[in-house]
Structure 1
Amino acid sequence: MRNWAGNVTYRARRVHEPATHDELRAIVAKAANLRALGSRHTFNHLADADELVSVRGLPADVVLEDHCVTCNAGLTYGELAQHLDGRAALHNLASLPHISVGGAIATGTHGSGTGNLATAVRALQLVTSTGDVVEARRGEPDFDGMVVHLGRLGVVTRVTLDTEPHYEVTQRVFEGLSWEHVPDVFDAAYSVSVFTRLKGVDMVWLKARGTPPDTLFDATAATVERHPIMELDPVNCTRQLGVPGPWWDRLPHFRMGFTPSKGDELQAEYLLPREHAAAAIDALRALTLPGLLVCELRTVAADELWMSPMYGRDTFAVHFTFEPGPVPLDAIETALAPLQPRAHPGKLYLEPGRYDRSAEFSALAERLDSRGAFASSSSTSGDSGGGSAFT
């Protein structure tokens, strides 16, 4: 079995799909080396092990109460949005709604503007390697170490997320922005993405809770809908041109039910302190990256989750999408090295960067995973680079 991108072949001898929590607990307690399998949108071996287990077969059991929603961690964000539609909303979504809630939280996956998706977690339920069920709530001593858990602590079965009242979002695209204005555009709307192939700014996507601005420095408003990769048909993308729609159908770039992004692609991402945005842009503009389809620039708010790439600092996110084949990770990491980058744990990378609470996280893993069942049993990488340094 392969991952979403096809660059990783899982070594797992068996994939378990339990239908009940008791069945799941028995599987976890017996396995010598195990990882939870989500929507397979990880581009390295972080989610690989001798055995894999999916929680998608467990009951969805979506419960909405007290300004939060509790659900099976195996649901995708698109599926969860269908349960919430018109009744409640989440604070943000990633570029594609096809990814699982549990997997996105485990890796600190994010959208733009606000905190990453894991910051919405109010509580979680975890099955440890002894088959015991552990529950943690925001404010408890281990909670900040358990949310972005990288699959190392156990199998998360249920999560509780903060919600807010339903809202609508309006999306507008601008083209041809000058480089000098890029550091200043990220406060122009609720969610902002800058798309570039490094020689110029192709597009800026503004997602506004309300009415987006009619102008954006020296950029020109697009008169037709766009795909983040300029040459591709935007039919799979969420509506633009100032047409309002529900939060779940505007905050992502891509629509449920369609192939997201290009499909066959490889991704890498680095998270830097936001104050280094201008220096990062200068470093990127000097690069020539063969196979680059698009580079997306975003900002993400700081958080206190130990293994979050945004821990302790407002963040400038630099995301790369490449054609299948060799990915020039060395050139990228060399250029960004002076700017304190942290690699997104679910993407391709060579060096993960400095995670300030990693020693405490390792101690937590040793305590919760007393058998070592969720530890990495081999050092492996994707076909185009990227290792398992986080495990």
Structure 2
Amino acid sequence: MHETVSTPPAGGSRPGTNWAGNLTYRAARLHRPASVAELQAVVAGSERVKALGSRHCFNDIADTRADLVALDGLPGEVQLEPSPDGSGGTAWVPGGARYSELLPRLAERGFALHNLASLPHITVVGATATGTHGSGNRNGSLSTAVTGLEIVRSDGELVRLPAGHPDLPGAVVHLGALGVVTRIGLRFQPTFQVRTTVFVGLTWDRLFADFDAVADAAYSVSVFTDWHEVTQVWVKARTDEPEVTPEEFFGARAATVPTHMLPGTPVENLTDQLGLPGEWHERLPHFRTGFTPSNGDELQTEYFVPRRHGQQACDALRRLAPRIAPLLQVSELRTVAADELRLSPAQGGDVLALHFTWLPDEERVRALLPEIEAALRPFGARPHWGKLFTTGADELAARYPRMPEFRELVRRYDPRGAFRNDYLDRTVGAFD
């Protein structure tokens, strides 16, 4: 049965806010449809409507003044379609499902995804719609695993975009502008194991003496910093790859106890380290499913620069360290392989992702962001669509050469502007 409630106020468990609590949703109504047909009726009958996922976005990408829809009440289970030769297949995932619900289903059947974000608490649709990524020189973002979508357009029609559909490359990273995704297909592969080793003592000079070699030292590599120094390096190696040893890792030494990237934070919420082998889904994320990810009380920003400009971009940020460090909990550097998804931050070339986990002081963080963006502007920085940034539509259009194709796609899928909001006006600009 379709449930409609007024969006509750912030406070208590803060159901009217995003995950970080820095945004209170303005919608007059929150719907939890119990079927796709009910969802279609809500969408077709609403002047303005947006879908909510795990709410792990730090800006107003999913905000609207009229109707919000939560998809956790829709029926359906994860459906696996293995290929006949056992080399992989497609997982069809309900629109409201989180990675934490999908991963055990794949693992128990001996399958894996190619990459995961640092936390499994987020929804599959929300992560792929914003270009969320994971790490690895040869690993595309989570969005590159998408093989199909089912979307309710603003006229209420359910549209299917299978693999090979000409609209799919533009629809994967969609920012919620095309419709409400009810089902998403992901490519999977045979399972694999990973071991995580944390290294300390890496210097900036050694890091950038051969940055490509550092980033390519294992399947997934994350470099943590406070912009004064490199604080840790998390090296996640597949067990079927050559083992990384302390002597081999660019002068850094292996930590001898489990180590959190945020000093003073309990290590129990982290996945296992110390080179202990484990299944892919128990190592590629930094955080365990059953615990609060990261510090919990934080804001986030992230920018992507072409990997060839990585050292220059980091040098520019290091010069801002006295301004950044007082507001920072930690920064993380990760590489992401190129793709050709229209609004993917890695569209057109390999990128270095520069991530900032901030203290929960939004006023001061927002005041600092223009300085960071100015420092990164010479390198063509693209912000993460789901995090805090101030870059506007004109500059983003220059950063995304295929933005006109995306705008044309939005005009076709949402001609009446039901999925438009302030966020899209600021970032994508005019659709007319």
TM-score (norm 2): 0.87
1:187-226 equivalent positions in 2, closer than 5 A: 187-210=216-239, 212-215=243-246, 216-226=249-259
- Corresponding residue of 1:104: 127
Q: 1:366 aligns with which of 389, 405, 411?
A: 411
- Corresponding residue of 2:40: 25
Q: 2:80 aligns with which of 38, 43, 64?
A: 64
- Corresponding residue of 2:67: 51
Is it true that 1:332 corresponds to 2:356 in the alignment? no
- The amino acid of 2:52's aligned partner reads L
- The whole-number CA distance in structure 2 between the counterparts of 1:69 and 1:339 is 37
Structure 1 runs of 4+ off > 3 angstroms?
none
- The whole-number CA distance in structure 1 between the counterparts of 2:263 and 2:351 is 26
Q: Contact (CA 8 Å) 1:78, 1:248: kept in 2 or not? A: no
Q: Alpha-carbon deviations, 1:150-177, whole Å to 9, x = none?
A: 0000000101100001111110000010
Q: Alpha-carbon deviations, 1:320-340, whole Å to 9, x = none?
A: 000011212122111111111
- The whole-number CA distance in structure 2 between the counterparts of 1:103 and 1:93 is 13
- CA positional deviation for 1:235: 1.1
- Corresponding residue of 1:303: 339
Of residues 220-229 and 147-156 in structure 1, the stretch that sits farther from structure 2 once superposed is 220-229
- The whole-number CA distance in structure 2 between the counterparts of 1:130 and 1:73 is 19
Q: 2:103 aligns with which of 66, 81, 100?
A: 81
Count of equivalent residues: 384
1:226-237 equivalent positions in 2, closer than 5 A: 226-237=259-270
Corresponding residue SS for 1:160: strand
- The whole-number CA distance in structure 2 between the counterparts of 1:163 and 1:246 is 15
Is it true that 1:342 corresponds to 2:382 in the alignment? yes
Unmatched segments (≥5 aa) in structure 1: 381-386
- The whole-number CA distance in structure 1 between the counterparts of 2:29 and 2:192 is 42
- The whole-number CA distance in structure 1 between the counterparts of 2:349 and 2:72 is 34
Of residues 48-57 and 317-326 in structure 1, the stretch that sits farther from structure 2 once superposed is 48-57
- CA positional deviation for 1:379: 6.0
- The whole-number CA distance in structure 1 between the counterparts of 2:76 and 2:224 is 36
- Corresponding residue of 2:156: 131
Q: Which has the larger radius of gyration?
A: 2
Q: Contact (CA 8 Å) 2:79, 2:93: kept in 1 or not? A: yes
Of residues 223-232 and 23-32 in structure 1, the stretch that sits farther from structure 2 once superposed is 223-232
Q: Contact (CA 8 Å) 1:112, 1:299: kept in 2 or not? A: yes
Q: 2:174 aligns with which of 127, 149, 156?
A: 149
Corresponding residue SS for 2:126: helix
Corresponding residue SS for 1:365: helix
- Indicate the structure whose relative CO is greater, using CA pairs within 8 Å and at least 6 residues apart: 1
1:261-340 equivalent positions in 2, closer than 5 A: 261-287=294-320, 288=322, 289=324, 290-325=326-361, 326-327=364-365, 328-340=368-380
Q: Contact (CA 8 Å) 1:226, 1:233: kept in 2 or not? A: no
Q: Alpha-carbon deviations, 1:251-292, whole Å to 9, x = none?
A: 000000100000010000000000001101211211121310
Q: Contact (CA 8 Å) 1:170, 1:207: kept in 2 or not? A: yes
Q: Contact (CA 8 Å) 1:69, 1:160: kept in 2 or not? A: yes
- CA positional deviation for 1:388: 4.3
Q: Contact (CA 8 Å) 2:302, 2:356: kept in 1 or not? A: yes
Q: Contact (CA 8 Å) 1:121, 1:162: kept in 2 or not? A: yes
- The amino acid of 1:245's aligned partner reads G
Q: Contact (CA 8 Å) 1:175, 1:203: kept in 2 or not? A: yes
Q: Alpha-carbon deviations, 1:184-217, whole Å to 9, x = none?
A: 3100010000000011110000111115401211
Q: CA RMSD in A?
A: 1.4
- The amino acid of 1:124's aligned partner reads L
- The whole-number CA distance in structure 1 between the counterparts of 2:165 and 2:268 is 45
- The whole-number CA distance in structure 1 between the counterparts of 2:230 and 2:279 is 28
Q: 1:180 aligns with which of 205, 214, 238?
A: 205
- The whole-number CA distance in structure 1 between the counterparts of 2:142 and 2:115 is 7
Q: Contact (CA 8 Å) 2:57, 2:387: kept in 1 or not? A: yes
